[in-house]
Structure 1
Amino acid sequence: MTVVADKSILLVEDEAILAMFEKNQLEQGGYLVTHVSNGENAIHLVIREEKPFDLILMDIDLGRGLDGTQTATEILNYKEIPVVFLSSHTEREIVKKTETITSYGYVVKNSGFTVLDASIKMAFKLFEANELTKSKKEHLETVLHSIGDGVIATDSEGKVIRMNPVAEKLTGWTHDDAEGHNIREVFKIVNVKTRSLVENPVDIVLRTNSIVGLANHTVLLSKDGSEYQISDSGSPIKDLNGDTRGVVLVFRDITAEYNVQSHIAKQANMLNNVLDAVIGTDFNHRINYWNKAAEKIYLWKAEEVMGKSVFEVLKTDYLQLTSDQVIERVNTDGSFIGEVIQFAKDGNIRNIEVNQVLLNDESELPIGYIAVGRDISERLNAMKQIRESEAKLTQIIESAMDAIISIDQSKKIILFNGAAEKMFGYESFEIIGQALDRLIPLDFRNQHDNHIDSFSKTGVSRRAMGALGQIRGLRSNGEEFPLEASISQISVKGEKLFTVILRDVSVRNLAESKIQKLLHEKENILKEIHHRVKNNMSSIFTLLTLQARSQTETSTQTILYEAAGRVKSMIVLYDKLYHSATDNTVSLQDYFPAIFEEIVNIFPKKIELKMDILQEPIELNAKLLSSLGIILNELITNSMKHAFNEITKAQICLKIFREEKKLYLEYSDNGPGIPESISIEHSPGFGLQLIGMLVDQIEGKISIVRNPIPKFLLELSL
């Protein structure tokens, strides 16, 4: 369960007012929130200062500089952290762009805190699940590479798909060289006496669908010419439905044990250094040797078991044979190799691989038995984990919503998942081994073959969904339909294998056609909406003004006039934009005189205005002008509240001038001045706090100049 109280969030949002609102909501929800207004500051905190954030809530549009997707990409290249995108955009291409960067969520602004909170918590859960999966996979790989036995995994056709280092050493094949080869080529075994080939245990498992052990006297012929006396077992890899998807072959070198069987009684002291349990008995099965490894595995001390029957000390389950049958085989063949279950002194089960041999004296007369046992409990657990991992991978492929198809170099289908079956109308057994052309319309086959051949020559490992454009598929009923595809390639022993992920976009294409029609209709609706929005904003302004004039308390009046001024700044900007000949920009000379007079005229007090605005035409974007309009409103309101209480002839001055690439806005009044205790950075009032945030949002600088004339000076870069 994700605990909210200790989760820290980095909020990257360039809209100051929205940032205040979102930060407040998240903190009320129990999160620790840090806010920055641009991508560069976010990268500085996460990468340079290495602040330990648990999640990043990222606005896509961050104004000038890096946008949200660029910022997220740079951060994710440095560290693993969940990123949830927050945007007012719902266009498909923008949402799709974020999916190529991270998959932890995309929240549309104004969806409400419930949706945002649920998306954040889901991102935490997904991130925790991904970390757990990664940890488990690394653990499985560590186990596979650390066990002392050789392990080879094959597919259902007996082709090698995985080998551990011990298997590489014994077979003489590297993993890369062996991958894709039939197990009979890599794991070549013969009878030690006749030198005839022994049936491969993988073939037996695939034929019988059961666990098998290797026959006695088996030798592994290594690729480098070496020979190893081995013991092994093969087990089927089954998916969640119980179907066999391959085989795990586990084997070990028992050459040393095999060679010392005839001498083990004379060299018993040397066997205390081996890791396998070595037990010697006379011909009546009474124990006469018990090495240190046997003490460690079975927990019986040597002095406790000497002279006792081995059947009295160890309860043994031979799985498929009885004890009498095993003894008969040892007496007849000279040895028995297999897996057994034995109980230690404390009653716990031990999975043992045992090599039991008949011990002869110098005259070749039988005098007893030697049993060499290896605890394979850890190996069996590793095999189980491997089988479960294979089953999970199969389940992931089968549960995918997109069709997944793999082909070999000759373009024959070798993988066809459940989604592909539904999409094309074929069962996998019908299509495996068939040419890929069967799924492609006749007039498109040559072009499609050229696509694959061209991609094969590029050396690129994969191309993302949609990079090939739209292609066409052919269902079993003859219906053609549009597809969007991604493709990847790998090389196995010089042969290239291709995998495509396909998505049926026929429904989407119909939807896009409808969207185009709706967009035309919405253009007409927007014209009507503009008229209504303007009227509604004017109504709000009028109501706020009337309400202010009806109040008797000055503080309440000021608050209402202040709110009316903010609305008026938006009305003026909105009207200028509507009549502007350019796209989303308004002339500074057109906007500021109008908004200056409109805001001042809201207040009942008679104010003399002095404006000195440069004549050079300057076009500014609406987002910047909106922030400047609110800043101007706050400065005028501040003057009305504090500057003219004892002034009869009130005056406000606004000067806008330019120096090189800097634009300056100078605001002053003829009031008593600004107290030394007041500053933009340390103001208790909401107005100056809002000014500070808005100036930061537009990447400007504001200062209070007290001499010779008190004034506010705002600096902007053009």
Structure 2
Amino acid sequence: MTISQIKILLVEDVLSIAVLEKFELEDRAYQVNYVLSGEEALKEIIEQNQSYDLILMDIDLGSDMDGIRTAKEILKRRNIPILFLSSHTEQELVEKTEKITSYGYVVKNSGITILDTSIKMALKLFKAHQDLEQKEKLLQLIAENYPNSYVLIFEKDFKISFISGQSLKKHGATKLEEIFGLNSFGTFKENYLFIKDYIIKTLHGEECGFDLEIGNEYYFCRTVPLSLSNQRIEKVLFVTEEITERKRTEEIIKSSETKYRTLFNSSQDAIIIDDENGHIECNDTAYKMFGCDNKEDFLSREPKEFSPERQADGSYSFPQAYEKVHLAFKNGKEHFKWTHCKKNGEEFPVEVTLSTMVLFEKPILQAVVRDLSGNKFL
């Protein structure tokens, strides 16, 4: 925005001063309108909805509606930078202006150069505040729309200075003011000391990740150090992602794996799992059935080592084995009688059931082998 595009409303109850200041500011290329009372200023801004980039507000307007009160009423409805003007410099008066959002205090008769500089600084500061507000809104928007995630920022005293909308709902609050500044003890209760340790580590520069159980819910938490322009760590970004369903699914899978592993290893039948390269897994019964020293000994050997050259009917084992595997992949399952041999060459009759499956996008063959030696299963 160029100076010639900047539109200023001057609120000054003395006409001669208003005219002079308008002339001096327009000489600096500003667009200036003036009103002579707080009431007129409210009418101009609120009722007529006129647009201004900055308001120059005389504090002493000679009526009940002084500059400070007028500024408060305007700021309730519009976000406009206000620069106060006064011929008084009493500390009490200056402190009153500091209690509302303003962008400076200029003593009258300081000269047009100082006033011009103050206006430019006020506009620059206002733009910086707007940019920061937009960034905070963007951060809030991202945080609120990140599924199952809650974002907080902790200060060095462990108090909250930022919290996402989803986190507000999580803590039963409807607006930031209800939880702003709340100590992490009030937020995390029995987990306070556990979390505090991670926040302390992060304030010393360590990025941390950990699981947290709160009631019946599980969260993955991540703490990230936040540095200001001086590179000193002043804040901690605390992001929690609810992983309750994932955790429960993992527990179900783990439980299923435990049950499967128990059945797998306790089976009296040999269970062997192969891929295109050979054996990849077996139970204890398998390596014992084939006379191997241990599981590793069995898995290191090729499948063809455990079949004799010929089957009981005199046919060659390899072509028949290939045909059985082919049928298993074609039909999903194949059941047949077979003659195997142990590591030492001793032959024994078995009953084999081949089943096929896909594991990690790879075709897998599972063989369940029942030893029929001595007709003990017949």
> What's the TM-score, normalizing by structure 1?
0.30
Partner of 2:250: 258
Partners in 2 of 1:242 and 1:251 — Cα distance?
A: 27
Partners in 2 of 1:13 and 1:55 — Cα distance?
A: 14
Partners in 2 of 1:46 and 1:182 — Cα distance?
A: 44
Q: Which amino acid aligns with 2:185?
A: H
Q: CA deviation at 1:164?
A: 4.5
Partners in 2 of 1:368 and 1:239 — Cα distance?
A: 46
Partner of 2:30: 31
Partner of 2:76: 77
**Deviations for 1:441-464, whole angstroms, at most 9, x for unmatched residues?**
xxxxxxxxxxxxxxxxxxxxxxxx
The alpha-carbon distance between structure 1 residues 155 and 13, as it changes in their structure 2 partners (threshold 3 A), is closer
**Deviations for 1:622-667, whole angstroms, at most 9, x for unmatched residues?**
xxxxxxxxxxxxxxxxxxxxxxxxxxxxxxxxxxxxxxxxxxxxxx
Partners in 1 of 2:24 and 2:63 — Cα distance?
A: 26
Partners in 2 of 1:84 and 1:148 — Cα distance?
A: 43
Matched residue SS, 2:73: helix
**Deviations for 1:159-216, whole angstroms, at most 9, x for unmatched residues?**
67366466688xx75467985327874659xxxxxxxxxx9577457458533444xx
Structure 2 counterpart of 1:211, from 207, 210, 230: 207
Partners in 2 of 1:36 and 1:97 — Cα distance?
A: 23
Partner of 1:61: 60
| 1:128 and 2:132 aligned | no
**Deviations for 1:331-373, whole angstroms, at most 9, x for unmatched residues?**
xxxxxxxxxxxxxxxxxxxxxxxxxxxxxxxx9x997448xxx
Matched residue SS, 1:235: strand
Partner of 1:239: 227
Q: CA deviation at 1:70?
A: 2.6
Partners in 2 of 1:243 and 1:255 — Cα distance?
A: 33
Q: Which amino acid aligns with 2:240?
A: V
Partner of 2:141: 142
Alignment of 1:315-334 (within 5 A): none
Partner of 1:181: 185
Query: Is this contact kept in 2: 1:160–1:182, CA < 8 A?
Result: no
Partners in 2 of 1:283 and 1:168 — Cα distance?
A: 52
Partner of 2:50: 51
Partners in 2 of 1:201 and 1:70 — Cα distance?
A: 46
Query: Is this contact kept in 2: 1:150–1:251, CA < 8 A?
Result: yes
Partners in 1 of 2:194 and 2:357 — Cα distance?
A: 32
Query: Is this contact kept in 2: 1:87–1:109, CA < 8 A?
Result: yes
Partner of 2:4: 5
Partner of 2:297: none
Q: CA deviation at 1:51?
A: 0.9
RMSD of Structure 2 on Structure 1 (CA): 4.3
Query: Is this contact kept in 1: 2:71–2:82, CA < 8 A?
Result: yes
Partner of 1:15: 14
The alpha-carbon distance between structure 1 residues 205 and 369, as it changes in their structure 2 partners (threshold 3 A), is farther
Partners in 1 of 2:188 and 2:149 — Cα distance?
A: 16
Q: Which amino acid aligns with 1:211?
A: E
Alignment of 1:539-558 (within 5 A): none
Partner of 1:524: none
Q: Which amino acid aligns with 1:9?
A: I
Q: Which structure has more RCO (C-alpha within 8 Å, separation ≥ 6)? A: 2
Alignment of 1:465-614 (within 5 A): none
Q: Which amino acid aligns with 1:130?
A: H
Q: CA deviation at 1:53?
A: 1.6
Partners in 2 of 1:222 and 1:130 — Cα distance?
A: 38
Q: CA deviation at 1:91?
A: 3.0
**Deviations for 1:303-340, whole angstroms, at most 9, x for unmatched residues?**
xxxxxxxxxxxxxxxxxxxxxxxxxxxxxxxxxxxxxx
Matched residue SS, 1:5: helix
The alpha-carbon distance between structure 1 residues 166 and 367, as it changes in their structure 2 partners (threshold 3 A), is farther
Q: CA deviation at 1:38?
A: 1.9
Query: Is this contact kept in 2: 1:154–1:248, CA < 8 A?
Result: yes
Partners in 1 of 2:77 and 2:190 — Cα distance?
A: 41
Q: Which amino acid aligns with 2:75?
A: L
Partners in 2 of 1:163 and 1:283 — Cα distance?
A: 51
Alignment of 1:409-448 (within 5 A): none
**Deviations for 1:588-627, whole angstroms, at most 9, x for unmatched residues?**
xxxxxxxxxxxxxxxxxxxxxxxxxxxxxxxxxxxxxxxx
The alpha-carbon distance between structure 1 residues 237 and 30, as it changes in their structure 2 partners (threshold 3 A), is same
Q: CA deviation at 1:29?
A: 1.3
Percent identity, aligned pairs only, is: 34
**Deviations for 1:238-276, whole angstroms, at most 9, x for unmatched residues?**
4344447546243332247537869xxxxxxxxxxxxxx
Q: What are the ranges of 5 or more consecutive residues in structure 2 without an aligned counterpart?
A: 255-273, 277-353, 362-378
Q: CA deviation at 1:68?
A: 2.3
Q: Which amino acid aligns with 2:207?
A: I
Partners in 2 of 1:156 and 1:45 — Cα distance?
A: 42
Matched residue SS, 2:240: strand
Partner of 2:238: 248
> What's the TM-score, normalizing by structure 2?
0.54
Partners in 2 of 1:158 and 1:32 — Cα distance?
A: 47
The alpha-carbon distance between structure 1 residues 151 and 110, as it changes in their structure 2 partners (threshold 3 A), is same
**Deviations for 1:110-168, whole angstroms, at most 9, x for unmatched residues?**
22211111111111111111222222222222222221143354758996736646668
Partners in 2 of 1:236 and 1:126 — Cα distance?
A: 29
**Deviations for 1:376-402, whole angstroms, at most 9, x for unmatched residues?**
xxxxxxxxxxxxxxxxxxxxxxxxxxx
Matched residue SS, 1:96: helix
Query: Is this contact kept in 2: 1:201–1:212, CA < 8 A?
Result: no
Q: Which amino acid aligns with 1:248?
A: F
Partners in 2 of 1:106 and 1:99 — Cα distance?
A: 9
